[in-house]
Amino acid sequence: MKNKVTVVLLLMVIALITSACGGANDNDAAQTDDEAVEISWMTYPPFTPEYETMLKDQIAAFEDEHPNIKIDWITNDDAVQLTRQQLAAGAGPDVVYADGPMTLRRFASAGYLEPLTDQVDTYKWNDRFYDWALSTGYQDGELYGLPKSYESVVVWYNKDMFAENGWDIPTNLKELQSLNQTIQDEDIIPIAFGASDYRASNEWALTLMYNAYLGKDAMKDVISTEMKWNDDLVKEATQTWVDMWQNGDVSDKQSHAITNDDAWSLFNNGQAAMKIEGTWASNRVMGDAQNFDVGFFVMPALREGIEENIPLALGGSTGINANSEHKEEAIVFLDWLHDIEASEMEVKLGTFNPLVDLDIANVEDVAPITKDIFNEITSYMEKDQVGYASWTYWPPSANYYLWDNIEAVFIGQMSVDELLDQVQKEAEKDKEEGLLFEFE
């Protein structure tokens, strides 16, 4: 009996030693599900069945490579708000999804996230990511998250309608205004846009108009509050968009009363010639049953003397819960989600992670429109003609006030001056709270 006990004890010691020697990156020895560490990751529900399949494939591929780690993938319609509540209570998922750098920075400021600065050299993140993208994960000199995907806002248009009517893509404000009037003369809505179901989508149009009118340098000055939000130049940009709306160029002055799906229906049915939305809409363009060719163009510079730009944004940021009991394993998964293998899976669905070495030519079965978007954004990055999308760079309270109140200006309940005077006050609050984007 004594010998049996001794053998059992020896086996237990060996098991403990083996377990202790196996770190987060040790994939040599296969482990059972019971022995594997489980880490949780919460996201919004996938927006298409194809995207759900891709995410499941990512998880399966990761678990094959890392049998000592299992992923508990959780979805929730209000994932970021739920995550915020859980983090505030000292709980929450191990891998923290944020819907952009500003949310990530707020999580970091509240002490919810684990600093990742010491991991930068270990995983060579400085070499992997574009500098502008990785920089969005820093707060007070510490890295708290990795950039998930980059995107922009463009003008989608009915290529067949343009060709049949001899309409050219505008190259300046005067041409845009003239095109809008010409389209209206044909009893067609120039620009489809709907925000009744998601008022924050107003920031898509504001991002497009502000960057196109101010130019990237002045836009950067406004974001950093070196130029005031109620500066005459910002007023002119705002008034330009308000004038277009009040002229009936935007959903026949009904953008506040119809949904985004309604706006796409106007476009798909040929009742509207153009649609303002982000590059993520490539999935919709590929999936919708239009009976015409769809193209896109970058909004031209709308003021003389500035260079046109494409406003860049990050569609998400990911960090690690400061209270996670499995930080090492969570960081391994975080790193893998942003590696080339996982990123090439996402390219097929029109999602581009900001990796220097991501080459769409290396990925099979990519739709032509996706290739066009990728190549267009890449060309603007190479030319250093990139602007600043609101949900990544703008002061959060100022941005919120803008998109939440621009419709009041459309319908005459508030003036442009009143709007921007309050936006300036909100930006000053953001500055006091340390929430301005930290440009290098």
* CATH class of the domain comprising 151-311+377-432: alpha beta
Q: Taking Cα atoms as reference points, which of 99, 113, 27, 33 lies closest to residue 332?
A: 27
Q: What is the 3-state secondary structure (H, E, C) of 311-347?
A: EEEEEEEEEEECCCCCHHHHHHHHHHHCCHHHHHHHH
Q: At residue 82, does pLDDT exceed 60?
A: yes
Strand partners, 192: 275
Q: Which two tokens stand for residue 82?
A: 């739920």
Whether 226 shows a pLDDT value over 90: the answer reads yes
pTM: 0.83
CATH superfamily for 30-150+314-370 is Periplasmic binding protein-like II (3.40.190.10)
- Note the pLDDT tens digit of each residue in 2-44: 343 333 333 333 333 333 333 334 343 334 455 889 999 999 9
Kindly report which listed range (27-41, 42-56, 72-86, 199-213) carries the lowest average pLDDT score. Answer: 27-41
The confidence score (pLDDT) of residue 34 equals 58
Percentages helix, strand, coil for the chain, rounded to the nearest 5?
Answer: 50, 15, 30
Pinpoint the residues of the chain covered by CATH 3.40.190.10: 30-150+314-370, 151-311+377-432
Predicted local distance difference test score (pLDDT) of residue 439: 84
Any bridge partners for residue 189, and if so which? Answer: 272
Lowest mean pLDDT among 108-112, 136-140, 223-227, 417-421: 136-140
pLDDT over 70 for what percent of the chain?
92
Give, as one character, the DSSP assignment of residue 69: E
Residue 135: C-alpha distances to residues 23, 68, 90, 219, 374 (Å): 29, 31, 27, 18, 21
